[in-house]
Amino acid sequence: MQEYTSEALYTIGESETCLTVLRDNTRKRPQTVLFSRPRKFEWVDVRADEFLREVYDVAKGLIANGVNQGDRVALMSDTRYEWNLLDFAIMAAGAVSVPIYPSSSTYQCDWIVKDSGAMFGIAEKSGHFERLSTFVHDTDPGDGSAHLNRVLSITDGAIATLVEEGRDITDEEVDARIAATKTSDVASLVYTSGTTGRPKGCRLLHSNWLGEARALLTHPVGGIAVEGNRLLTFLPLAHVLSRAVSIAATLGGATQSHWADMSTLVPEFSRSQPHLILGVPRVFEKVHAGVLANATDGGGIGAKIFPVAQKTAVEYSKALDTPEGPSTGLKIRRAIFDKLVYGKVRAAMGGALQYCISGGSALNPELMHFFRGIGVRIYEGYGLTESTAAVAVNFEPDNIIGTMGKPVGGNTARIAEDGEILLKGTVIFDGYWNNEEATRESVDEEGFFHTGDLGTILDTGHLKITGRKKEILVTAGGKNVSPGPLEDIMRSAPLISQAMVVGDNQKFVATLITLDEDALPGWKKRNNVPADTPVKELAKNPVLRAEIQDAINEANDTVSHSEGIKKFRICDRDFTEEAGEMTPSLKVKRFAVAEHFADDIEWIYNTK
């Protein structure tokens, strides 16, 4: 049985929480700039002492509103400074936060509010406020339905309201709440994205969050979270990875700014000049697609240079992993392209970037080699909501592209006989809220959490993901196929937005393809295709189909012939979260897609 344990280079006291660490750090370094936030059309710094003061004042408002020790508080907001403020204020009040993705529907909110038993809600803006206000009643209906006593809106003065209403509460009362909170208490109920079935609430303890923060800060990857360095947080803070890294940065002393508009992310990189970018694979795939589009739009020399520059970057990166290293000729080619291409990409990412972290799902190794070859280091990590985000992460000097790195300190990874990844340690959750049956099914007698992911552990201790146990397709010929790795490779192609492999109980493996709306205009221009050509017509275009086939061929090169994709279907539209086909963390809901695109799947297997 494969197993690897990383020693914890930290300890956690029985009364320590992220809030107590923030308070202790502030006493030692009150002038540390923890945040940069927009105020009156400019960005202003927020020192540690200012932030802690505001945390206390908001916590007083929660207490004044009847929020008691252990009560659940729902928080539904896009990424912004107030999210972090409210997160720490809820901790200070001794309460339990219940993050809700800002894109969640009223139906999804209903389940989370009802299941968690949240009694107070904070929304960001009108749409969020309207959804949560649906559950506000003068009295508890008593029928088990969702019930909130009150909802406040951030954009309508929630923070000022809480501060004003808490004026009669003393600091000592907040201190008493903090002192009464134990490391073993539940800090947050974080609901799984729910690719299948209803989301389950993960009981994440204060020890989990602090263990995650300290595991990252004592790992080489956390060396960036120090005073003077900048982090741009743009992933939803309801996403456990985004929140975990945000908390680690706050406790480490780095300066954090927030941005929620993904369409203007590149200009924000230029403004904030982050030293660290945390993203999911789709973010880096979009950056690559944007680079390609900018380089090739209009044809000319750029269209000729970029393919060679990209190939050189990948070759250079792969050569770094060989005993000989890059040849002199390869170094010269890379130096030339660095001036022509690579330097411009790094500048577009802010110009101060030290490295990136990618999590949520696997990133195509070829894409990672491209970025490393141009001088942008991306380190992959692995984790789940149940592991409070990262339980393993790569970094130099033993970074191995294609793996998730070694377990972070205080945690163990084990591979079961059937190949499933099992996890145990400081960051592993306390179980599912109101669902002990699911807890018993996922946590064994030794305390190992069964992830549902398949993998292997290298002799070096690096964890490698090979597929998803519950997503294994079995063809009519009895061949087991893991769709995830194939989809990751296809999705990194500039023209492809999403790919979903199908073939369960079928004669061969196939895939549904959706086109990237951002990449299409440039492609149409380069190929003299009218801008208003609908997807249904584009799907017949032989040049476009050839490019899609190239991406599929690249994926097929990684598997045996019987596991390879034999046919594809270009769908009329992209998979969307609104239609219930994607989770908020950008994972495909297979059952929903199979249902909504049943006609396309039928076409694949019934059309010659």
User: Are 440 and 560 part of one and the same domain?
Assistant: no
| Whole-angstrom distance, CA of residue 165 vs CA of residue 487 | 51
**Residue range 137-189, pLDDT digits in tens:** 877 777 778 899 999 999 999 999 999 999 999 999 999 999 999 999 999 99
Q: Which residues of 278-296 are buried (b: 16+ CB within 10 A; e: fewer)?
A: bbbbbbbbbbbbbbbbebb
Within a domain: residue 275? no
Q: In this predicted structure, what is the pLDDT of residue 196?
A: 52
Residues 328 and 448 in one domain: yes
In this structure, are 376 and 317 located in the same domain?
Answer: yes
Query: What are the Cα distances from residue 254, in Å, to 10, 17, 92, 230?
Result: 20, 19, 21, 6
User: How far is it, in rounded angstroms, from Cα 96 to Cα 515?
Assistant: 41
**470: its two tokens:** 């519950």
Q: Which residues pair with 393 in a beta bridge?
A: 381, 406
Q: Which helix (H) or strand (E) is 371 found in, with range?
A: helix 365-373
Same structural domain, 47 and 107: yes
> Is pLDDT of 3 > 70?
yes
In a domain, 569, yes or no: yes
Per residue in 61-99, is it b (16+ CB within 10 Å) or e — as a string? bbbbbebeeebbbbbbbbbbbbbbbbbbbbbbbbbbbbb
My answer on whether 506 and 444 are in the same domain is no
Q: Are strands 230-233 and 276-279 parallel, antiparallel or unpaired?
A: parallel
Structure confidence at residue 572 (pLDDT): 94
Average pLDDT across the chain, whole number: 93
| Res. 301: pLDDT tops 80 | no
Higher pLDDT, 302 or 534: 534
Position 291 scores a pLDDT of 80
Domain of 493, CATH number, reads 3.30.300.30
Residues 6+ apart with CB under 8 A from 65: 120, 149, 150, 162, 165
Task: Indicate the range of 89-93, 285-289, 571-575 predicted with least confidence.
Answer: 285-289
List, as one string, the DSSP characters of 517-577.
TTTHHHHHHHTT--TT--HHHHTT-HHHHHHHHHHHHHHHTTS-GGGSEEEEEE-SS---T
Residue 480: phi, psi to the nearest 5?
A: -85, 130
The tens digit of pLDDT for each residue in 34-76 reads 999 999 889 999 999 999 999 999 999 999 999 999 999 999 9
Q: What is the C-alpha to C-alpha distance for residues 576 and 124, in angstroms, rounded to an integer? A: 22
What SS3 class is residue 226?
A: coil
At 281 the pLDDT is 86
Does residue 163 fall inside a structural domain?
yes
201 in any annotated domain: no
pLDDT category of residue 247 using cuts at 50, 70 and 90: very high
pLDDT in tens, 195-207: 556 889 999 999 9
User: Looking at residues 442-471, what average pLDDT do you find?
Assistant: 92
Residues 488 and 463 in one domain: no
CATH number at residue 371: 3.40.50.12780
Q: Domain check: are 158 and 44 in the same one?
A: yes
What are the beta bridge partners of residue 37? 44
Residue 214 covered by a domain: no
What's the pLDDT at 197? 63
Same domain flag for 517 and 422: no
End residue of a domain, out of 225, 249, 273: 249
Cα(355)–Cα(343) distance, integer angstroms:
15
What does the angle CA 241 – CA 423 – CA 91 come to, to the nearest 5 degrees?
Answer: 45
Q: How far apart are CA 291 and CA 219, in angstroms?
A: 32
Question: Are the CB atoms for 12 and 210 separated by under 8 Å?
Answer: yes
Q: Give residue 472's pLDDT.
A: 79
The domain containing residue 127 runs over which residues?
Answer: 18-180+233-249
| pLDDT band per the 50, 70, 90 thresholds, residue 482 | confident
What letter represents residue 272's amino acid? S
The torsion angle over the Cα atoms of residues 312, 317, 320 and 324, rounded to 10 degrees, is -30
Number of domains in the chain: 3
Residue 217 is assigned to a structural domain of this protein: no
Domain boundary among 453, 469, 485: 469
The span from the CA of 121 to the CA of 50, in Å, is 24
Does 170 share its domain with 300? no
Task: Based on the fold, state whether residues 412 and 530 are members of the same structural domain.
Answer: no
| Exposed / middle / buried, residue 565 (Cβ in 10 Å: 0-12, 13-18, 19+) | buried
* 430, 338: one domain: yes
Q: Are 49 and 27 in contact (CB under 8 A)?
A: no
pLDDT bucket at 480, cuts 50 / 70 / 90: confident
Task: Identify whether 301 is part of a domain.
Answer: yes
Which helix (H) or strand (E) segment is 304 a member of?
A: helix 300-320
Q: Does residue 290 share a domain with residue 241?
A: no
Which of 469, 502, 536 is at the close of a domain? 469
Q: Is the pLDDT at 194 greater than 60, yes or no?
A: no
> 507 exposed, middle or buried (CB, 10 Å; 0-12, 13-18, 19+)?
exposed
Q: Is residue 270 part of a domain?
A: no
**Burial (CB count within 10 angstroms: exposed 0-12, middle 13-18, buried 19+), residue 220:** middle
